[in-house]
Structure 1
Amino acid sequence: MLSGSIPLPIGNLSELTFLYLNNNQLSGTIPSSVGNCSELQELYLNDNLLEGELPYSLNNLVRLTSLYIENNNLEGRIPLDFGNYKELQLLVLSNNRFVGGVPRGLGNCSKLTNLSAVNCGLSGRIPSSLGQLTELTLLYLSDNHLSGPIPRELGNCKALTDLQVYGNHLEGVIPSELGMLDHLQTLMLFTNNLSGEIPKSIFSIQTLQHFLVYGNNLGGEIPKEITELKQLRNISLFDNRFTGNIPQGLGLNSSLMLVDFTRNKFTGPIPPNLCFKKKLRKLLLGQNHFRGIIPSDIGSCFSLTRLILKQNNLTGELPDFVEKSNLLFVDLSNNSLSGSIPSSLRNLAKVTSIDLSLNNLTGNIPTEIGNLLDLEHLNLSHNSLEGVLPLELSSCRKLSRFDASYNVLNGTIPSNLRNLVELSSLDLSKNRIGGSIPTSLFQMGKLSFLHLGENQLEGNIPPSIGLEFETQSLRSLNFSSNRLTGSVPKELGKLKMLEQLDICCNNLSGNLEVIGQLHSLTEVNVSYNSFAGPIPSPLVKFVISSPSSFIGNSDICIDCRVESGVSCQGYNNNNTFKSCNTPPRKRGLRQVDIAMIVSGTFLFALILLLGVSYVLLRHKGHERNLLVSSEEGASSLLNQVTEATENLNDKYIIGRGAHGVVYKVTLGPTKVYALKKIGYVGSKGGNKSMVREIQTIGKVRHRNLVRMEDFWLRKDFGLILYGYMKNGSLYDVLHGADSSQPLEWEVRCKIALGTAQGLSYLHFDCDPAIVHRDIKPMNILLDSDLEPHISDFGIAKLLEESVASMTSSKIQGTIGYMAPENAFSTRSSKACDVYAYGVVLLELITRKKALDPSFGGEVDIVGWAKSTWNKNEDKIEKIVDLELVDEFVDSRVKEQVREVLLIALSCTEKEAIRRPSMRYVVKQLLLLNDFRSPSKHALT
């Protein structure tokens, strides 16, 4: 293999006709002396390390027929005067770093058959002069920065068989003249900005095999002429705006292998016979509006490897699957499928992933599931499945994620699940499973996510929970709302990687000392048990962020002694928890004492109500319509809310936060709400938090901020009604039970931009300006379209409120998202929000948590990202989520991820003054391709 540079004397070889120096390690520039080799016909310099600009002297090589210079580091403009290249047939320039446009003079190379300039940095328009190349068969201009329309003159390139211009900024319509290319086999126009309908003339090209136009703004209906393309193998319309039905005969007269119509607006039934010729390998029709049943022939298509029909309106039963099926991936989630899971599931011997969640499936989980020896992911959640977990499930030795939550399963948890040695996530929550927690569950060393909440489990938490601690990787543990008794075993303290612990609503007793040993915890909930004694000092920080996570334990207290290192001032100034140092009362209450207390309580409630009403009336103006429901008397809507939640029954709780409990309220098929209950009786600050949240939310009107529907002030608590967000929080999507779901870069872009716009509105468009003070994924809610809505203004600070009313000794925010300056100050600023937003951006890019154990030591995501980036600036793959790396085949995605990473790093600068404003962040995001700001982003 040659190295070094190309020697200058090479120009002395005046009779040289062929020069092959490709696939070496040559470096340096291409010497201008090469232009002296006037007899040269073929020049191959591809796959080297050459750099610099192309020498102008190459124009002297008028006999050249082949020029290959791809896969180097060449830059600058392409200086070739193609008017001299009358013999040129092959020109390959791909994978360099040129600037400028495609030379117009290429149209003079009348013998040119192959033009390849992929990923070259080219910009400007595709020159119409290329339409003069009547012998051109291959035209590759993909992954550049080309803009403008596709020139209609390309229809004159009659010999063209392969046209690929994907991954640019092309706009306008697909010219109907392309239908004149009657030899065309491959047409790839995906990831551009094309609009309009697909011309019918395209579907008259009988030679067409590959038609890929995904990631544009194309629309309209698919013409029936598509059914006449007998050689069509791959068609992808993914992520456009197509409507109407799929033509019935699509599969009858073709050799289809790929059909991808995902994320459009197709309606009607899925046509039968898509697998007519048994060649179809991938059928991707998810996220549309298809209705009706799944055609039975889909289950009998033995060539099919990938079947995705998720998020449609499909009904009926699951199809029977044919023997010797080759299906590897099945996703039928989020439909209205009914009936039982067929026993023919056993025929999917090669399947690795099955998702049947969010349907209306009934009956038992079939024992035949044990035949799926290669199964890795199984999601049966949100159905009406009943019966027991089949013992045969333990035969799926490769299973890594199993979710059967939100069903009506009963029986006990089989002890033989310990055979699932690859299992990392097990969710059986919200069922009717009884018995005890099997000790064998904790013999699975890779288990990191275990949720058994809201079942009927009894007995103690087994000590075996920590016996395998050397290999134990548990990070999220939920035993809430069961019938567990006894104390927390000391072995729990060995789970050094545990981040989330929820054991609320049981009958557990004893103290919390063991839980205090879990230094990796970021979330904890021990409420509504019978715990006693002092809250360990490592847990006191959670009293600030989530006091409701400790309530319902009447005998716990906070140790305020100097030697304990805990000051009750700032932690317990709302008297939610008693001080461990308060001497017990030695006498009972007399009747007169009780009478005085009752009278005082009534008087306090009356004063509180009048005070809150006074504050609210001061802010009547444009909020006047909100005050109607603030009266103590019940409204008809409040009656409906109370009835729908069975008087705020705990089974409707969907979340707990620092300022209250959240319930799901369903008043009708299209009327679903979230209801926050905030208690303030007996506290100095609770009612202020309530009023502050009402004041703040009542003012804001923006599509990326949660909108309050109504509120009520009761004697003991307040209620705020919001719109329900179907997809939960960003935390759920990134790190929760559904974190295994794919999250495309485009979706992450939408979340990043929407969140930034919401914060920018708070900072610059509200008067007075608002600082949120607790931006984090849990407070970013996602609607059915994954549009973000910032929530929880309970600790928002109105910048122009009087200092006296807002002075606090509490440090507001969440560890991992607090700016460095908050370590020594309780004052919050816009820059603190910017820092927290930067952390959220890093989580979107990496899909790691703010305090991820994989970082090691005391390092958070900011420290890890900056350190990794400083060492690997040219290898962004070292930082980003592996799922995004798969999208880097589109070079624009990689560049966008890099730019957003730089924005995140600037937002998390240590010095507040160096951080950008949210208005500037929005501007930078909009400058990136695909971060558009249409008129619908206006305030609502």
Structure 2
Amino acid sequence: SFSFPFSLPTFHSSTFHSSTFLPLISFSLSSTLNSAAIHVGFVVMQLHSRHFFLLVFFSFPLYVVFALTSDGLTLLSLQSRWNTHTPFIPLWNASDSTPCSWAGIQCDQNLRVITFNLSYYDVSGQLGPEIARLTHLRTIDLTTNGFSGEIPYGIGNCSHLEYLDLSFNQFGGEIPQSLTLLRNLTFLNFHDNVLTGAIPDSLFPNLNLQYVYLSGNNLNGSIPSIVGNWSQLFHLYLYENEFSGTIPSSIGNCSQLEDLYLDGNQLVGTLPDSFNNLDNLVNLGVSRNNLHGPIPLGSGGCLSLEYIDLSFNSYTGGIPAGLGNCSGLRTLLIVNSSLTGHIPSSFGRLSKLSLLDLSKNQLSGNIPPEFGACKSLKELDLYVNQFEGRIPSELGLLSRLEVLQLFSNHLIGQIPISIWKIPSLQHILVYNNNLSGELPLIITELKHLKNISLFNNQFSGVIPQSLGLNRSLVQVEFTNNKFTGQIPPNLCFGKTLRVLNLGLNQFQGSIPSDIGTCVSLQRLILRRNNLTGVLPEFMRNHGLQFMDASENNLNGKIPLSLGNCINLTSVDLSRNKLTGLVPNELGNLMNIQSLSLSHNFLEGPLPPSLSNCTKLNNFDVGFNLLNGSISSSLAGWKVISTLILTENRFTGGIPNVLSELESLSVLNLGGNLFGGEIPSSIGGWKNMFYSLNFSDNVLTGQIPSELKNLVMVENLDISHNNLTGSIRVLGDLSSLLVELNISYNFFTGPVPPTLMKFLNSHPASFLGNSGLCISCDETDGLSCKESSSIKTCASHSSSRLNNTQIAMIAFGSSLFIVFLLLGLVYKFVYIRRNKDTFDTFAEVGTTSLLVHKVIEATDNLDERFIIGRGAHGVVYKASLDSKRTFAVKKLTYGGCKGGSQSMIREIKTVGRIKHRNLIAMEDFWFGKDHGLLLYRYQPNGSLDDVLHQMNPAPALTWEVRYNIAIGIAHGLIYLHYDCDPPIIHRDIKPQNILLDSEMEPRIADFGLAKLLDQTSAPTVSSSFAGTIGYIAPENAFSAAKNKASDVYSYGVVLLELITRKKPSDASFTEVGSIAAWVRSGWNETGEIDSIVDPMLVEELLDSDRREQIKKVVLVALRCTEKDPNKRPMMIDVLNHLIDSKTKQSTVSLD
């Protein structure tokens, strides 16, 4: 039996002609339904002689099948290569006589296909060679699908083709040479594919192209000079490729050219003078190349120019005055391009100019008053230059101005009153200048003002008391000026204020009570003023994250309501006159990381509830009147690194619980009433990298021998106690010890030779120990006379040795010789075998047994133990036993002398940093040409492994991804705000995010970029720039990094978590970055279905989960703003991420 894949029409025998039989059979052999046709043909021929009626009956369906035109059959053949994910696309019906009514198809009067349009149909697969059969095609539009493979060479056979759009697909390979046959082609769009190779020279001479879009690919080579032959060309888009060489001057022959975009390539040389011949040019973009030389624009006709972007190049000279003749100009961007000189006064003729950005150059002189004539100007960005003089009052004539950014220049004088009268003003950022004067009352009438940043200037006077009535205020930053008077009330009247930074001024009076009810406030900085009165009640400040009211004259008690601010991560109330108890309610601050209450008059015990603050990293209550025991408060502080309790009245012994605080690096218990002996458990504090202070207590007993395990400690103060016995154990600490004070105890015996350098430089640190002495022959140049503060040890005994003593000496000498020989054997057998790893311990900085064990476990760092290679070195896995596994990073110094004191000090600084979301260093070793850093091995590898390397890829729920994002944010906040000085990571990427057994993220390699800068050869550029794809745009040509750089990198990682796409993914080639790709998809649809990892699609069915992911996407896009000043701080990022779980929260791109 035989069945057709479509319905049969009613049969009328009168329509059949037997003469059609053989041609139909022969045609069927070349059709796409060969198997069906041959089968039917066979049946008909068998029945021909006996049953003619059956012949007719079976031949008619055959006639129907092949009544479809050849163009239709070709389309069906093309369709057989595709997949479509859009179920509502009408199926092409094979039983139709023509394809002219099919979706996306149009025909001419001869029923030949002339339009082939499947744009936005979500079709994937390949465009087959059958396309060559559609010879009458005039339009091919396949934009925004998933086509892949090469563009078929046979497309050149479509000789009538006028319009060819294959944009937003995955076509690869080279541009086919056959396109030169398309003499009628006027529109060519290959934008956003993965095409490679050069532009064929043959593409240009014979075509009449008017619109060419080849942007967003991987095309290379030079731009052919023959492009000038396209005399009818209107648009030429070549941006975001890998073109090199110079810009051909022949482009100037394209007299009709309107749009020319060459941004984001590797072009060199100068801008051609022939650009001035392009009288019809409207838009010109050449940013992000390697261009140099002068800017030639403006010397010819440029009246049509509306948009110019020349940013991120390295021009010489200044801005040409001729640009002022481009009277139609609306946008001019020349950012970070090494410009010098003055801004031409001719710019005053640019009456249509809306956006002018000349930031991050070396422009100097005065800001031209002629800007006042630019009546259309909405944004003026001149920040980070060398402008001087006063801000011209003529800027006040810019009635449409919304953004004025003049920060980081050398401006002086007052802000003209006329500027404060601009009704549309929203953002005024003039910080880091030398401006002065007072804020006028009229500032309160700026109803749209959102951001006013005046910090680091010389402003004085009072802040207008009605400033807070402005409902739009978001950010007020007046730090480090000379403001006086009282802080205005109602600054949060509009419930939009997020940042209030008034530190380092001369404000008086009390803190307005309404600050305590500002629900939108996230950062409050009032430090170093003359504020008095009590702290306000904090009733509804759940969004408050950072609070600093230190160095004032505040009094009264710490309000219990401060415990309501559950999102606080940092509180500093030090150096005030606060009294009363430390509130038990502070134990509610589950997210607190830094709490400083020092230099007040607080009393009573520390509340046990503080043990709930498990994220606490820095705790300082020094110089108060606190008392009682401390052990119960410390139990939960597993990540504490700095603990300062100095100058209080704490009693009891030094608690053993301190040995459980594995991250502790600074401990100051000085000036209390701690008694008893120093616990032997002190030997377990292996992470005590920096400072240990037990001074001014009533400690007794001897120094425990376990103290020698603290080989990394720099500052040790045990003075003014009742300690006794020898100080020999302190000699083992001398290699890295910087400061030592053992004065006023009851120590006896000789001073170890290794401590004589401290006795020589700071003899007072040894005073008050009458039993100490020195041996003159071990003073390393220090004579007994010079050390008169300490007596000389007896050089020999006056009595004669007896036979037993002589025998003991002889026996001891023999043992010494035996051990000496064993030592020599060890040196020549073991150390020589490992000499490639250990050159000398003289430069090591540690002689840890752990390092030896790691070397043994990896068979002298054999290659089979390598688990990774990165920018900072090779990583080995060392398993010591079932419970201890380490990752060993081997650093190669290049041309630097290994083990320098600066390197050791730097690595010690890094080693002191302890946080739950940072990889803690366990130990280190430095040799002559390389060093070793030891970390705990993380069983789940890196985030890059989980996202991209593991096969099969593990399913990551949104909750897991969200927690990873939160953890990374916590780690960066600690580096940025809780380290002193702040640490910029400079290379945030998934490879540097390690995951422990609970999938908790831990940031690796922080601080190593700076360390490696020290170790590079002096003849080599040593600044570590980061990893391509994660580098902030402002750092593309500069290695200088700041917090905003890390925020950008974090945003890229966040997008990578959401999309599971690498920043180098080919789909981003056209738009330039993963952020631009996501932003483009967002702007088009406002939805995230096409953005997120397909593994998350099911979770999008939950409306609450969908909304949360959308909010996190918006956070990531804010982090990846091109302008670093528009990026949020990491503290703000964390707050937005936390808020994304609440239905009421909002995040926007504004």
TM category, shorter:
0.5 to 0.7
Residue of structure 2 in register with 1:380 after alignment: 526
1:553: which partner in 2?
Answer: 697
Q: For residue 332 of structure 1, what is the aligned residue in structure 2?
A: 478
Contact 2:700 2:724 in 1 (8 A): no
Q: Give the equivalent residue in structure 2 for 1:27.
A: 172
Q: Distance in 2 between matches of 1:390 and 1:837?
A: 43
TM-superposed deviation, 1:874: 11
Q: Give the counterpart of 1:129 among 274, 278, 296.
A: 274
Distance in 1, matches of 2:714 and 2:411, equals 57
CA offsets 1:33-74 (integer angstroms, 9 cap, x no match): 222222211011112222333233322453000111122222
> Given the alignment of the two structures, is residue 199 of structure 1 paired with residue 344 of structure 2, yes or no?
yes
Match of residue 256, structure 2, among 104, 111, 118? 111
* Aligned pairs for 1:421-436 within 5 A: 421-436=566-581
2:509 counterpart SS class = coil
User: Post-superposition shift, 1:275?
Assistant: 3.7
Alignment partner, residue 446 of structure 1:
591
Deviation for aligned residue 1:442 = 1.0
Corresponding residue of 2:417: 272
- Which residue is 1:359 aligned to? 505
Alignment-derived partner of residue 145 in structure 1: 290
Distance 1:231 1:267, change over 3 A: same
- AA in 2 matched with 1:286: Y
Report matched runs for 1:883-898 at 5 Å: none
Change (3 A) 1:297 1:573: closer
Q: Secondary structure at the match of 1:214?
A: coil
TM score, norm. by length of structure 2:
0.55
Task: Give the CA deviation at 1:919.
Answer: 1.8
1:323 equivalent in alignment to 2:469: yes
1:853 aligned onto 2:955: no
Alpha-carbon separation, structure 1, partners of 2:570 and 2:516 = 18
Partners of 2:335 and 2:603 in 1: CA distance? 56
Matches of 2:917 and 2:716 in 1, distance apart?
A: 37
Choose from 456, 461, 464 the match for 2:601: 456
**Structure 1 range deviating more: 857-866 or 397-406:** 857-866
Select the residue among 500, 509, 527 that pairs with 2:670. Answer: 527
Q: Larger deviation: 251-260 or 303-312?
A: 251-260
| Corresponding letter in the other structure for 1:339 | G
2:124 maps to none
Structure 2 match to 1:755: none
Instruction: Tell me what 1:608 maps to.
Output: none
Structure 1 residue 851: Cα displacement: 4.0
Cα 1:678–1:496, aligned 2, differ >3 Å: closer, same or farther? closer
Greater radius of gyration (CA):
2
- Counterpart of 1:492? 634
**Count of matched residue pairs:** 706
Is it true that 1:3 corresponds to 2:147 in the alignment? yes
Q: Shift of residue 18 of structure 1?
A: 0.4
User: Is the Cα contact below 8 Å between 1:834 and 1:908 reproduced in 2?
Assistant: no
Number of the residue aligned with 1:516: 659
Contact 1:680 1:716 in 2 (8 A): no
- Partners of 2:697 and 2:721 within 8 A in 1: no
Q: 1:99 to 1:255 in 2, by over 3 A?
A: same
* 1:175, distance to aligned residue in structure 2 (A): 0.8
Residue in 2 that maps onto 1:631: none
Q: Which moves more between the two structures, 533-542 or 202-211?
A: 533-542
Q: CA deviation at 1:220?
A: 0.5
| Distance across 1 between alignment mates of 2:714 and 2:210 | 83
Correspondences of 1:674-753 after superposition (within 5 Å): 688-689=757-758
Contact 2:641 2:912 in 1 (8 A): no
AA of the residue aligned to 1:509: T
* 1:405–1:430 CA contact under 8 A, matched in 2: yes
Bigger mean CA offset, 294-303 vs 237-246: 294-303
- Report if the CA contact (8 A) 1:15-1:39 is conserved: yes
Q: Distance in 1 between matches of 2:203 and 2:434?
A: 57
- Mapped to 1, the partners of 2:670 and 2:376 lie a distance apart of 64
| Alignment map for 1:889-928 (pairs within 5 Å) | 916-920=1015-1019
| Closer/same/farther in 2, CA of residues 13 and 850 from structure 1, 3 Å limit | farther
Q: Which moved more, 1:830-839 or 1:28-37?
A: 830-839
Distance 2:973 2:180 in 1: 46
Aligned position for 2:37: none
Distance 1:374 1:305, change over 3 A: same
Query: What's the secondary structure of 2:484's corresponding residue?
Result: coil
Find out whether 1:120 has 2:265 as its counterpart.
yes
- Correspondence 1:389 to 2:532: no
Aligned to 1:936: none
Report the alpha carbon displacement of residue 898 of structure 1 after superposing the two structures with TM: 9.3
Counterpart among 169, 184, 194 of residue 314 in structure 2: 169
Query: Who is 1:672 aligned against?
Result: none
Question: Measured at CA, do residues 575 and 325 of structure 1 come closer, stay the same or move farther in structure 2, by a change above 3 Å?
Answer: closer
CA contact (8 A) 1:907 1:916 kept: no
Shift of 1:156: 2.9
Q: Residue 233 of structure 2 contacts residue 254 of structure 2 at CA under 8 Å; is this kept in 1?
A: yes
Q: CA separation of 1:452/1:687 partners in 2, compared to 1, >3 Å: closer, same or farther? A: farther
Contact 1:559 / 1:579 at 8 angstroms: preserved in 2?
no
* Residues 538 and 134 (structure 1), Cα distance of their counterparts in 2 relative to 1, 3 Å cut: farther
How far 1:114 moved relative to its partner?
A: 0.4
Code of the residue aligned with 1:531 in structure 2: it is F
CA RMSD across the alignment: 4.6
- 2: CA distance, partners of 1:85 / 1:61: 9
CA contact (8 A) 1:558 1:579 kept: no
Deviations 1:75-109 (A, max 9, x none): 23223521211111101111122222222221111
C-alpha distance in 1 between matches for 2:395 and 2:988: 41
Q: Give how far 1:433 is off.
A: 0.5
CA drift of 1:188 comes to: 0.8
Whole-angstrom CA distance in 1 between matches of 2:512 and 2:986: 45
Kindly indicate whether the alpha-carbon contact (under 8 Å) linking 1:172 and 1:195 is maintained by their aligned counterparts in 2: yes
Consecutive unaligned residues of structure 1, counting only runs of 5 or more, are: 585-656, 662-676, 695-712, 718-769, 775-815, 823-827, 887-893, 933-940
Q: Deviations over 1:737-756 (max 9, x none)?
A: xxxxxxxxxxxxxxxxxxxx
Secondary structure of 2:164's counterpart equals strand
Structure 2 counterpart of 1:210? 355
Conserved in 1, the CA contact under 8 Å of 2:210 and 2:232? yes
Q: In structure 2, give the amino acid aligned to 1:386.
A: T
Are the aligned partners of 1:678 and 1:686 in contact in 2 as well (CA < 8 Å)? no
Q: 1:172 to 1:925 in 2, by over 3 A?
A: farther
Paired letter, 2:321 = S
CA shift for structure 1 position 284? 0.3
Q: TM-score, normalised by structure 1?
A: 0.67
Distance 1:40 1:544, change over 3 A: closer
Equivalent residue for 1:342? 488
SS state at 1:516 partner: helix
1:846-884 CA distances to partner (integer Å, 9 max, x unpaired)?
Answer: xx9844421457679996999759759999x99999899
In the TM superposition, what are the counterparts of 1:643-658 in structure 2 within 5 Å? none
Cα distance between partner residues in 1 of 2:437 and 2:154: 74
Deviation, 1:256, is 0.7
Q: 1:571 to 1:305 in 2, by over 3 A?
A: closer
Give the drift of 1:205.
Answer: 1.7
Q: Which of 3-12 and 542-551 deviates more?
A: 542-551
> Would you say the 8 A contact 2:615–2:637 is kept in 1?
yes
2:132 aligned with 1:64: no
Task: Specify the alignment match of 1:830 in structure 2.
Answer: 898
- Structure 2 SS opposite 1:100: coil
Q: Is the 8 A contact 2:679 2:704 kept in 1?
A: no
CA distance in 2, matches of 1:343, 1:924: 47
Cα pair 1:3 1:27 within 8 Å, conserved: no
Gap regions ≥5 residues in structure 2 = 1-144, 727-735, 764-785, 791-841, 847-885, 924-932, 950-964, 977-983, 993-1003, 1026-1034, 1041-1150
Matches within 5 A, 1:539-578: 546=690, 549-555=693-699, 560=704, 576=718
